[in-house]
Amino acid sequence: MSLRPTLDFLLYHWLDAESLNQRPRFADHSRETFDAVFDTCERIAREKYAPFNRTVDTQEPHFDGEKVILPQATHDAQKAYAESGMLSAAQDYEIGGMQLPYTVEAAANAFFAMASVSIGSGLLTTGNANLLMVHGTDMQKNVFARNEFSGRFSGTMCLSEPQAGSSLSDVTTRAVPDGDGFEADPLGSRYRLKGNKMWISAGEHELTENIIHLVLAKIPGPDGKLIAGTRGISLFIVPKKMVNTRGELTGVRNDVALAGLNHKLGWRGTTNTLLNFGEGKYPVDGQAGAVGYLVGKPHEGLRCMFHMMNEARIGVGTAATMLGIAGYYASLDYAKNRPQGRPVGVGGKDAAQPQIRIIEHADVKRMLLAQKAYCEGALALELYCARLVDEHHTADAQAADDARLLLEVLTPIAKSWPSEWCLEANSLAIQVHGGYGYTRDFLVEQYWRDNRLNMIHEGTHGIQAMDLLGRKVLMEGGRGLQLLAARINATIEKAIQLPEFAVHANALGKALQRVGSATKAAWATGEPGEALANAVPYMQAFGHTVLAWLWLDVALASLSLPQDAPHAGRIGAMRYFYHYELPKIDAWLRVVETRDLTCADLPEEAF
Ligand SMILES: Cc1cc2nc3c(=O)[nH]c(=O)nc-3n(C[C@H](O)[C@H](O)[C@H](O)COP(=O)(O)OP(=O)(O)OC[C@H]3O[C@@H](n4cnc5c(N)ncnc54)[C@H](O)[C@@H]3O)c2cc1C
């Protein structure tokens, strides 16, 4: 099955992505140029990614004592990706970018995530370089970011430490000025870093000439102690190999050493590393300590990092979505071809009758429609959020500000909803395959394993939920929630006019009211311990309400198209969501509204 018709419908018909060409930044673009990007990405994904998805899973990265070895297919895929220009898709023409809207960039990257998520399509490198384009000096942009955009260097994000994952305020990597005149280095104020960074994706490999680590570390205060909390965190560029101001390798290795590779459940095509910074394995100028160049101002490292969080989280949500879609397509194909059993009812037990294909069983159809509703709904969510990124960057001031705030509220959902429900879709894809789904002869088990990561990284499910209920829905006097409610109400007003949709419009209206009242009830005592005890059920209900809204909106858009099979599929998925999914919010919100402390209050010994 091809993703393209679904993508085209959502992008062009539902979201009217073509109208972005009216913005001066995208004026040179047209549907033709967008389609050309999709054609290229679809082809590279088909030729260089999909055939090797199993290869990168079975040939895990390994360390030969000197180098980390990856399959040749990974080298070829990443080379093709870099040559396509996608690493700098959104950047200005002057630096070799394509000046593409983010909506189009995100959609184009979906092809790679579906074909082989873990070969990696350079999102880390792009995110790293994009950050430097905003917060770096001109020299840092030229030496590091531009070489990342060209594919010569690759990038990482080094936030987590063995003892500091969700709680970044507890990082202990230390950065001290590198001698007198440390501020005069043309590459940026020069520091020496010491510490351990855990879980670093793409932290070591031979895919590129150099690896540019962006590292969070603390500069000690005047008393020599690390400043407690996030306030003390600064951001540094730490190249694996030292470079000069022309971006050439100097031949000196920086003091960053691979301490070990993590062996993962899935996503095995990307190395995951424990890195030791500054342990003295590779002394620079005879001295232990990894050389790092400050980005932005001291103590503002997290603020710089957060600049790219929205896009990184849309990237995670899109990866989860595409793994879900890959499993849906695989199980749909399987269900159409697997004969098993006979229809229920009269004659169903007659073994003389031919068997039917499992797609003819109601329960298998239920599992397929659930996958379609989860995954195509999630794709709509990601594209909608990507479009908000473009609004934020290029719309007029008021619309841009609304988009910013809406994104604040929707980003935890964009990251977490697909991570949970497209993973559930992968589980259903295995179920549709029966016993075969539980073997390595079919890809669905790998999709599930690959997808299991997404609820963990880029802020765990629990952390995203606390961000939503503890911060996002409250910020700026709750204006983000009001903006979202206004958009949902606009869809309700349209849908309520149509007899076949009125019942769904009413259900959505009730769900929206309930989310609003649950938000207030959660905070009625003003006690974070009570309000946030059920943050995850709150996020689940919030997410389901958002998805119900998007499905109704998508169904409305579909009405103006021919009433063909894809249209019937969209209406079916929308109905599935209202009949089988939206009612779940009742149970989720009940514990939120009553500030149920069943879990929170249970003493540790009782577990
Ligand atoms: C494959 C992989 C790739 C990764 N890539 C990178 C990378 O490139 N760069 C990078 O910096 N990091 C990376 N990470 C790290 C990832 O972001 C962390 O694993 C994640 O933030 C969770 O931290 P932790 O593993 O220490 O778990 P913990 O923070 O110890 O969390 C364990 C559990 O406790 C819960 N919990 C923790 N604190 C709270 C709280 N205050 N309230 C309620 N619940 C809480 C969490 O939700 C979770 O369920 C990667 C991780 C993996 C597995």
Query: Residue 345 pLDDT more than 90?
Result: no
Tally DSSP H helices, then E strands, for the chain.
21, 12
How far apart are alpha carbons 353 and 356 in whole angstroms?
9
Predicted pLDDT of residue 310: 80
Report the mean per-residue pLDDT for the chain.
97
Whether residue 448 contacts residue 424, with contact meaning beta carbons closer than 8 Å, is answered with no
Q: Is the CB of 199 under 6 A from ligand 1?
A: yes
Lowest mean pLDDT among 263-267, 350-354, 548-552, 567-571: 350-354
- Which member of 376, 420, 458, 593 is catalytic? 458
Half-sphere exposure of 423 (CA within 13 A, CB side): 18
The helix-helix angle for 397-432 and 309-337 (nearest 10°) equals: 30
Closest ligand 1 atom, residue 270 Cα: 1
Predicted pLDDT of residue 505: 98
**Which residue from 477, 295, 317, 290 is spatially nearest to 383, judged by alpha carbons?**
317
Query: Residue 45 pLDDT more than 90?
Result: yes
What's the pLDDT band for 230 if we cut at 50, 70, 90? confident
Closest ligand 1 atom, residue 159 Cα: 11
Predicted pLDDT of residue 479: 97
Beta bridge partners of 156: 213
| Residue type at position 358 | I
CA of 565 relative to ligand 1 center, distance in Å? 42
How far apart are alpha carbons 31 and 100 in whole angstroms?
12
Q: Which residue among 457, 532, 539 has the greatest number of ligand 1 atoms within 8 angstroms of its CB, and so is best to mutate? A: 457
Whether residue 194 contacts residue 256, with contact meaning beta carbons closer than 8 Å, is answered with no
What's the pLDDT band for 357 if we cut at 50, 70, 90? very high
CA of 421 relative to ligand 1 center, distance in Å? 19
Predicted pLDDT of residue 348: 73
Closest Cα to atom 23 of ligand 1? 165
How far apart are alpha carbons 462 and 371 in whole angstroms?
24
What's the pLDDT band for 204 if we cut at 50, 70, 90? very high
Closest Cα to atom 22 of ligand 1? 165
The 10s digit of each residue's pLDDT in 310-322 is 889 999 999 999 9
Q: Is the CB of 532 under 6 A from ligand 1?
A: no
How far CA 101 is from CA of 31, 239, 292, 395, 522, in Å, comes to 12, 30, 33, 12, 38
The 10s digit of each residue's pLDDT in 244-266 is 999 999 999 999 999 999 999 99
Closest Cα to atom 32 of ligand 1? 166
Helices (H), 290-361: 301-306, 309-337
**What pTM does this model have?**
0.97
424 is catalytic: no
Predicted pLDDT of residue 1: 87
User: How large is the C-alpha radius of gyration of the chain?
Assistant: 25
Whether residue 425 contacts residue 555, with contact meaning beta carbons closer than 8 Å, is answered with no
Query: Residue 4 pLDDT more than 80?
Result: yes
183 CB-near residues (< 8 Å, 6+ apart) = 177, 189, 190
The 10s digit of each residue's pLDDT in 279-310 is 999 999 999 999 999 999 999 999 898 877 88
Secondary structure of 153-214 as H, E, C letters: EEEEEECCECCECCCHHHCCCEEEECCCCHHHCCCCCEEEEEEEEEEEECCCCCCCCEEEEE
Closest ligand 1 atom, residue 459 Cα: 21
CA of 460 relative to ligand 1 center, distance in Å? 6
Closest Cα to atom 30 of ligand 1? 165
